[in-house]
Amino acid sequence: MQGAVQGVGFRPFVYRLASELGLGGWVLNSPHGVCIEVEGDEAQVHRFEQRLENEKPRVATITGLKVSPLTPARCERFDIRDSVAEGTKEAFILPDLATCADCLRELFDPANRRFRYPFTNCTNCGPRFSIIEALPYDRPNTSMKKFAMCPECQREYHDPKDRRFHAQPNACSKCGPQMELWDATGRVLAREHEALAQSIDAVRGGKIVAMKGIGGFQLLVDARNDDVVRRLRERKHRREKPFALMFPSLESVEEQCRLSALEKQLLLSYQSPIVLLEKMSGDNGLARAVAPGNPYLGVMLPYSPLHHLLLHELECPVVATSGNLSDEPICIDEPEALERLAGIADVFLVHNRPIARHMDDSIARVMMEREVVLRAGRGYAPTAISIEGGDSETVLAVGGQLKNAVALKTGNHVFISQHIGDLETEPALAAFEKSAADLPRLYDAKPDIIAYDLHPEYLSTKFARTEFETGQSQRFGVQHHYAHVLSCMAENNLSAPVLGICWDGTGYGLDGTIWGGEFLLVREDGFDQLATFRQFRLAGGDKAVKQPRRTALGVLYEIYGSELFEREEPLPFVDFPSTELKVLQKMLVTGAGSPLTSSAGRLFDAVASLLGLRHAVDFEGQAAMDLEFVIKPGGGGFYHFELQGEQPIIIDWESMVLEILEDKRTGKAMGDIALKFHHTLVEIMVAIARVAGEQKIVLSGGCFQNKFLLERTVQRLRDEGFIPYSHNRVPPNDGGIALGQVMAALRTHRPENVSAKEVCAA
Ligand code: ZN
Ligand code: ZN
Ligand code: FE
């Protein structure tokens, strides 16, 4: 049997069920999944099969059930046997699970032996992926191996009727992990409950507390205290990117945010992600610096016993942000935290359960009344996608440069790693290399193919090209937007042909320019570029990404040419210093250092700047978010656009931009202009879909994190008779492309018997 069943109390459940039905046999964890042999009365065996599916534990999913009749072995009893560790390892690894209701009740029950014990867990909850060192999932293969269970814990662990039967991280205050509070030099200030009490005082007193959590260190501060939130921003070098909040309870969230039924469900789910929620008007006592100028809050609820204990006492929301300098990966061990968080945290609340791999908090947003995962970390990773007829080849995909995640295909599944981050710092690169080695090691798989992005400057690409140079693995470059579309197809189990619409910020195009507004006709074994946006220049490349006003200048230059710099009227956005403008002018005219792009994301940036909303950004996607947030819904209409030529069709946005400038000049409301701009983009998609003649339309790329754009596009495409597909558990942003890279490598016909050769999927 295959599925995510290991470590969720599945074997105890099977044991109880078989015993109740009077069946003999055994159950064990194997690398392929759970094996069960039952024997007894035929009707009872049939009943067993039915109840297995119907009554399985809440978090268990069964993806495959193979039944074969056997000669009776005359077993009278039912046993749980030791795990076997041989053959291809394909069993699912479970993600870390938020504290269950039973454990929570015990945590606050003075009569219970685990009263206030911050590391309690059971087969229905607790750490998993963050403590697993090898498969199969058994205690000696986890970072809990160094804690020997006390007699009481032993008894629970071996009692099939107990909720902690074979709960691998089982522990109590007598035998399990313990906390300590350290100062910034690592000196112990307090232990156990006193450490907790002093941490609470520190948060209340406006201090920054670094806390070792499930998948790494978090930085906690009082979310109502503007001074400390600002101090945190300064020390973390994070100017405007919103901070996530942890609230003590669902009720306290409802005082600040509007919540739908699905959003509530997500907050309370065992994945317990950060959910993006619409804020009610007013600051309601929250510090302004938490999410400046943003109508959304990133909110989560306590998900570990330690978080429950802290928040229960604090009774107020805290900022709970990853323990790192901005753009670096989260710290996972004490020495690393003391070193890297030295200038940030005032005190350190640590514990002695090692974290096997870093795991950020996940982020989800409800769009089209569905959960869309924007960052897959704790609770979701590793994400398993089953694929049909997967051949015997093992593929490792190294992902992109930003929001990196890697993926491994072995057997009939693709396993996507946790979010790793932007590969722009040394620590991020180190975390990436560790993760690229981690998945193949866990699953005991030697990659036959290494798939990577075609961008020559991506560190993941360089890694794939050099690291595996001498190996026997075949290397396989995959075009960025093709990977996006294939990831969405894999998630939705779609086969070609489809029209893939991939809009994002940046991706290396087949012609060496920067793509990002692509319509791809995806065939069985490749794709054709059906349509793309008219290109414009980005003066300074990456610098233009940080400064939407440069992008706006590039768009205007594309319209007016050199005449732009001779015009009487001033440029519609904040004037550049004249020296800078001279430099940019030269860059645009000569094309030096000014790559061409067809990026839809950059078009958002340009329009945001032309409207005066934002001229420089602090984080990726910020200007596009401003445009989304400013929309005043309700109106209709769209701007003009032209489609020219064929294969690829060039979408000309010139009249749209000119009309936007005219609307701005005549004083039209910003909310109406932003709405009309979004409508125009949707109508462009509908127009190209009509030309493409495919019914299945696949939407992928970072632009589809925009709720208004996604929902409106899906609605309009459905109105026109198309069937749109979008992302759900796999992020629409670059966090999803490793999956697409795997799929590209599998579906493309490659020359036989070629090793260490480079092939491109185009
Ligand atoms: Zn539990
Ligand atoms: Zn114990
Ligand atoms: Fe992308």
13 CA distance to ligand 1 middle (Å): 15
157 CA distance to ligand 3 middle (Å): 46
17 CA distance to ligand 2 middle (Å): 27
* Nearest bound ligand to the CA of residue 305: 1
Q: Are 657 and 559 in contact (CB under 8 A)?
A: yes
For the chain, how many residues are written? 762
124 CA distance to ligand 1 middle (Å): 5
347 CA distance to ligand 1 middle (Å): 29
pLDDT digits (tens, 9 = 90+) for 228-285: 999 999 999 999 999 999 999 999 999 999 999 999 999 999 999 999 999 998 767 8
123 CA distance to ligand 1 middle (Å): 6
* Nearest bound ligand to the CA of residue 504: 3
Q: Indicate the fold that domain 382-478+736-761 takes in CATH.
A: Nucleotidyltransferase; domain 5 (3.30.420)
Pairing between strand 596-597 and 536-537?
antiparallel
* Nearest bound ligand to the CA of residue 516: 3
Average pLDDT of 7-26?
Answer: 80
* Cut 0.85: pTM above it: yes
417 CA distance to ligand 1 middle (Å): 25
Give the pLDDT confidence score for residue 752 in this predicted structure.
43
* Nearest bound ligand to the CA of residue 167: 1
- Is the pLDDT at 63 greater than 90? The verdict is no
732 CA distance to ligand 3 middle (Å): 8
Average pLDDT of 283-311?
Answer: 93
pLDDT digits (tens, 9 = 90+) for 406-447: 999 998 899 999 999 999 888 889 999 999 999 999 999 999
Give the pLDDT confidence score for residue 89 in this predicted structure.
54
Domains of the chain by residue range: 2-80, 179-363, 382-478+736-761, 514-523+529-727
Q: What is the 3-state secondary structure (H, E, C) of 93-121?
A: CCCCECCCHHHHHHHCCCCCCCCCCCCCC
| Distance separating alpha carbons of residues 6 and 23, to the nearest angstrom | 22
* Nearest bound ligand to the CA of residue 149: 2
Which 3 state secondary structure label does DSSP give 700?
strand
699 CA distance to ligand 3 middle (Å): 12
| Distance separating alpha carbons of residues 140 and 128, to the nearest angstrom | 13
Confidence of residue 512 (pLDDT cuts 50, 70, 90): very high
| Residue that is written with structure tokens 């990117």 in the block | 241
677 CA distance to ligand 2 middle (Å): 61
Give the pLDDT confidence score for residue 470 in this predicted structure.
58
Average pLDDT, the chain: 91
| Distance separating alpha carbons of residues 399 and 475, to the nearest angstrom | 13
- What DSSP state is assigned to residue 355? -
Question: What CATH architecture applies to the domain 2-80?
Answer: 2-Layer Sandwich (3.30)
- Phi/psi for 219 (5° steps) reads -105, 125
Buried b (16+ CB within 10 A) or exposed e, 129-149: bbbbeebbbbbebbbbeebeb
- Is the pLDDT at 142 greater than 60? The verdict is yes
How much of the chain exceeds pLDDT 70, in percent?
91
505 CA distance to ligand 3 middle (Å): 6
Assess if CATH 3.30.420.40 describes domain 514-523+529-727.
Answer: yes
Q: Are 139 and 145 in contact (CB under 8 A)?
A: yes
Give the pLDDT confidence score for residue 389 in this predicted structure.
64
Q: Indicate the fold that domain 179-363 takes in CATH.
A: DHBP synthase (3.90.870)
Give the pLDDT confidence score for residue 52 in this predicted structure.
86
| Distance separating alpha carbons of residues 132 and 417, to the nearest angstrom | 13
98 CA distance to ligand 2 middle (Å): 21
Which 3 state secondary structure label does DSSP give 206?
coil
- Is the pLDDT at 82 greater than 50? The verdict is yes
Give the pLDDT confidence score for residue 412 in this predicted structure.
87
DSSP of 628-646: HHH--TT-------EEESS
* Nearest bound ligand to the CA of residue 102: 1
- Phi/psi for 525 (5° steps) reads -130, 25
* Nearest bound ligand to the CA of residue 304: 1
Average pLDDT of 58-68?
Answer: 66
105 CA distance to ligand 1 middle (Å): 9
pLDDT digits (tens, 9 = 90+) for 678-693: 999 999 999 999 999 9
Pairing between strand 536-537 and 498-508?
unpaired
CA angle in degrees (0–180, nearest 5) for 471-389-88? 50
Decide whether 2-80 matches 514-523+529-727 in CATH topology.
no
What Rg value do the Cα atoms of the chain yield, rounded? 27
131 CA distance to ligand 2 middle (Å): 18
